[in-house]
Amino acid sequence: MRLISFRNNYIKIIFTIILGLYCGLLLLTYGQLFRGFHLGNFFPLLVSDEILFSIGFSLATSLSALLLSFLIGIPSAYILARENFPGKGILESFLYLPVFLPPLVSGLALVLLVSQGAGGFLESRGIEFMFSSLGVVTAQAFIATPLAIRSFQTAFQSVDPKLEQAAESLGDSPGKVFYEITFPLAWKGILTGLLLAWARALGEFGATIMLAGAIRMKTETLPISIYLNMSLGNLENAIAVGILMLIIAVVILTIFHYLIGFSSIKNRLPYR
């Protein structure tokens, strides 16, 4: 009966064809990374000095950026989730600006920021942002933090404020309520936000190359490694890094969908 109904519903058929075509396009596109590439060369290429540096450097900078996103995102998201004030909607839109703007624009603005005013003062004291690892972390955190804030805000909004109020009425301090009730109940959403922010930081290219440049074995993140190897004609090296980033993305997406699916099931449980 469902099959007959589906056949008679041409809208579903057309939409299904469009979905299938797009999925086919994705498979065809990313499949090109494996076409003509000798997988036997994958691990030998990954353990070359340059790519090992880019892997370690990307992990160090992206995790540092993630820490900054966490430290900024948690208090910001909690205020946005729990407080109502004039202009809140405008502020939320403003905080999401780095996501909507091309990263090159954000990178240009960061270059102007750190080369003038307070940024120039810091550089005169030996704290360098331009063409340095600090610049990479700054660019990654600047772009990734809005994603963290939005995800953390949604996580805090899913926690019933009455639970916090009940704990406070029993004499618990606001800090104790946050760390023993709010944060534990929101941890899955927070973890989801951290995954999204880390993936965005790890894949950041535009703002990073504007602020820190593309210097081999110095500011060479994984995306910049692809750029440098492509510009020099080292196609196999670029493909090896691309496949590595594809694997990382699949792992992150798998964890992300597990967390989302688990949360959806939990929200439907009758005892909640």
- In total, the chain counts a number of residues equal to 272
Q: Beta-carbon neighbour count of residue 89 at 10 Å? A: 8
Give me the long-range contacts of 225-233 (CB less than 8 A, separation at least 24): 225/50, 225/51, 225/54
* Least confident residue range of 69-78, 160-169, 224-233: 160-169
146 vs 46, residue with greater confidence: 146
Cα–Cα distance between 227 and 106 in angstroms, integer? 19
Instruction: Calculate the CA dihedral of residues 225, 228, 231, 233 and round it to 10 degrees.
Output: -60
pLDDT at 264 over 80: no
Tens digits of residue pLDDT in 164-208: 888 888 888 888 889 989 999 999 889 999 999 999 999 999 999
User: Coil, strand or helix: which one is 272?
Assistant: coil
Tens digits of residue pLDDT in 236-249: 999 999 999 999 99
Fold designation for 40-267: MetI-like fold (1.10.3720)
Question: What are the structural domain ranges in the chain?
Answer: 1-31, 40-267
Q: Where do we find the tokens 């995800």?
A: 151
Cα–Cα distance between 190 and 256 in angstroms, integer? 11
Cα–Cα distance between 142 and 201 in angstroms, integer? 9
What is the DSSP secondary structure assignment for residue 180, as one 8-state letter?
Answer: I
Cα–Cα distance between 272 and 59 in angstroms, integer? 38
Cα–Cα distance between 66 and 144 in angstroms, integer? 8
